[in-house]
């Protein structure tokens, strides 16, 4: 139960950090904070404990491939931020991420299993 509370507190700390940075002169750093591997550290520790080093290695490789959908999301936000409303921009970027993530999952389960 203590581990669950620790994970919740980490999430809260990240949200508070993003909120504080978004109000500062260095607002752009708020985009870097979600990329700190807070949840990846937790996931990697759990995968290693439950599945071992080989599974951790595959998890890291999948994590590298997962940067592609995120890059597509960011590219969509960059391209649409000044051309559409916030809602259209974020929904379109999220839809593009979902499509790219779906393709990634299909490819991964087809070729890396």
pLDDT at 113 over 80: no
Cβ neighbours of 97 (radius 10 Å)? 19
Q: Using alpha carbons, select from 46, 63, 50 the residue that is nearest to residue 112.
A: 63
Read off the pLDDT band of 97 (50, 70, 90): very high
Straight-line distance from the first to the last Cα atom of the chain, in angstroms, rounded to the nearest whole number:
33
Q: Residue 10: its pLDDT value, please? A: 82
Q: Residue 3: its pLDDT value, please? A: 80
Tokens of 111: 């070729």
Q: Which residue has the tokens 């491939």?
A: 65
The region of weakest confidence among 2-6, 53-57, 63-67, 80-84 is 2-6
Cβ neighbours of 60 (radius 10 Å)? 12
- What is the value of pTM for the model shown? 0.80
Cβ(45)–Cβ(56) under 8 Å? no
| Domain extent listing, the chain | 1-21+37-52, 66-113
């Amino acid at each position: 139960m203590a581990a669950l509370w620790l994970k919740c507190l980490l999430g809260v700390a990240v949200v508070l950090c993003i909120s504080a940075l978004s109000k500062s002169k260095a607002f752009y750093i708020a985009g870097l904070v979600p990329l700190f591997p807070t949840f990846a550290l937790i996931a990697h520790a759990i995968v290693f404990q439950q599945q071992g080093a080989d599974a951790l290695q595959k998890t890291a490789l999948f994590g590298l491939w997962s940067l592609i959908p995120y890059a597509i999301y960011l590219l969509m936000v960059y391209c649409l931020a000044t051309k559409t409303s916030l809602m259209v921009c974020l929904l379109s970027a999220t839809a593009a991420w979902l499509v790219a993530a779906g393709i990634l999952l299909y490819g991964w389960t087809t070729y890396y299993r």
